Structure 1
Amino acid sequence: MLRFFRQIRKTLMEQNKVRTYLLYAIGEIALVMIGILLALQVNNWNQNRIEQAQLQNYYERIIEEIETDIPVKQNFLVKNQQVIDLNKRTLNLLNSSDPDSLKQLRNTLGALSTAWSLNISYPVLNEFKNSGYLSKVQNTELKQKFFELNSVIEFTNSIDTYIVEQYLSTIEPYIIKSFNYQAVALERYQNLLIPGGPPIDYTQFNEDLELWNMVSFKLETAGLYNEYIQSLIDEQRSLINILEMELE
């Protein structure tokens, strides 16, 4: 094609048809520019098509990741609620100041030493954000939902970190110096321990301000954790609904 155009230019110059040559040259430049623009348009179209396919693939994987995760969070809520209920029972027993009631602490104090955490992480969702695909999302509502979910995850993880720190810095040291842990450990942990050790005088906990505050803080933290886990589940379900609409 280029050889053909060069031949035409040569013929026009030899025939001294300068005006015709200039018009032809302008037309040739215009054709080249149109060709470049068309090529760029096709390239952009292909790039957009590839990006949309990649976005859809991520949406499908994120849905799968979240759908797998929700039952895990629901099971955690049930287990953590049991800890909450036992800590409430502990406070009620401490509040009674009755020696016979205080003996029932053997069935509830183990919840104080139970520090369950989730360390929430979503590999596919993190890959999606770190690869820059969030900026390619055109749906404003969907983009906002990603930001909202991330905010809940960050706050929930901050509580998760606090639960571990609370146990290591205050609860475990108190238990070590105050009573025989094996005697009050929850049933699920008893098979890991050796029965025995010094008996517990439960009347020592009457008017024990340190224990009262410790259980109260534990109850507050566990309750707040459950609230944010439930918020996380709600945000996950909401995100799934929007992603499924995007895939339709």
Structure 2
Amino acid sequence: MENKTGKYLKYALGEIILVVIGILIALSINNWNEQNKIDKSIISHLEILKQNLNEDQLQLQILKQNITERKQSADSAVLQMMTIRPVDNLLKKYLIMLYQEYKFSPNTNAIETINQSNEIPALNVELRTAILDYYALIERTKEREFISNTQIQTKYEPYLNDEYPNIFEKNNEWQFLASFYEKDPRPSSLIDKEKFLNDKKLESLLVSRYYQLIALEKFYEDLIISSHKILSVIEKKKI
């Protein structure tokens, strides 16, 4: 009886061990399958993210180029005000070009999907940090754009509209206004040179516009660098 009992206990213990091993194997396979699904989902979403970032970079390059032109306008207008350059009819173009507001509109399809899928924690530290830094920088860029655009809307544009309305004439060499007033039969006028040279408020607005453009340019450049970092990490297959 003792031998039979011993054999039975060994057999039962063996069965239990086999069942546990089977459960562990099943769990391992299930975990592997789940992880495989997650990995495939992440890879798919990162491909979309790459497309989004390439679109962002194209937009940022256009914004930077636009800012370069506006910086030149602000610089030229201030140089004329300082009498370093003679006041000429291009001044109208310089002043009107500084009306332009700026807004970067990133494509957020991929990051929204990644966040909804809660896949950020599954990424490696380098990639996760690069992605979070990029989208945090976008938020700070929006704040700078808001400051710049508010200045245009509340200070620069109203002042120019009140004090220098004759910039809206056919002799403004900015292409849009030149075309808009092309058939206008009324005579054009020049900006009052003495008024312009002694206009300290306009000078402060021009210098401020120049500063805001430099600040925005830096943000856009940093975003381009940050997006390149993400793309570089993805290309290295460091998921």
The AA in structure 2 aligned to 1:85 is Q
Name the counterpart of 1:179.
164
SS of structure 1 residue aligned to 2:105: coil
CA RMSD of aligned residues (A): 2.8
Residue 211 of structure 2 corresponds to residue 223 of structure 1: no
**Pairwise CA distance, 1:90:** 0.7
Name the counterpart of 1:42.
29
In structure 2, stretches of 5+ residues that fail to align are none
TM-score by length of 1: 0.81
- In the aligned structure 2, how far is the partner of 1:73 from the partner of 1:20? 77
SS of structure 2 residue aligned to 1:119: coil
Name the counterpart of 1:233.
224
- In the aligned structure 2, how far is the partner of 1:82 from the partner of 1:36? 68
What is the correspondence of 1:60-209 to structure 2 with a 5 Å cutoff?
60-96=47-83, 101=87, 104-138=90-124, 140-180=125-165, 181-183=167-169, 184=172, 186-192=174-180, 195=184, 199=189, 200-209=191-200
Per-residue CA deviation, residues 90-146 of structure 1 (Å, 9 max, x unaligned), is: 111111299x626552231112212232233432123223432111012x2222222
**Pairwise CA distance, 1:220:** 0.6
For the 8 Å contact 1:112–1:218, the answer to whether it is kept is yes
- In the aligned structure 2, how far is the partner of 1:109 from the partner of 1:159? 21
Name the counterpart of 1:5.
none
SS of structure 2 residue aligned to 1:113: coil
Q: Rate the CA distance shift 1:57–1:189 in 2: closer, same or farther, 3 A.
A: farther
- In the aligned structure 2, how far is the partner of 1:102 from the partner of 1:202? 9
**Pairwise CA distance, 1:228:** 1.6
Residue 24 of structure 2 corresponds to residue 24 of structure 1: no
- In the aligned structure 2, how far is the partner of 1:66 from the partner of 1:76? 15
The AA in structure 1 aligned to 2:123 is V
For the 8 Å contact 1:56–1:247, the answer to whether it is kept is no
Q: Rate the CA distance shift 1:151–1:145 in 2: closer, same or farther, 3 A.
A: same
- Equivalent pairs counted in the alignment come to 232
In structure 1, stretches of 5+ residues that fail to align are 1-11
For the 8 Å contact 1:119–1:160, the answer to whether it is kept is no
- In the aligned structure 2, how far is the partner of 1:185 from the partner of 1:223? 24
Higher Cα radius of gyration: 1
- In the aligned structure 1, how far is the partner of 2:101 from the partner of 2:26? 61
**Pairwise CA distance, 1:65:** 1.7
TM-score by length of 2: 0.84
Structure with bigger helix share is 1
Q: Rate the CA distance shift 1:120–1:209 in 2: closer, same or farther, 3 A.
A: farther
- In the aligned structure 2, how far is the partner of 1:145 from the partner of 1:29? 48
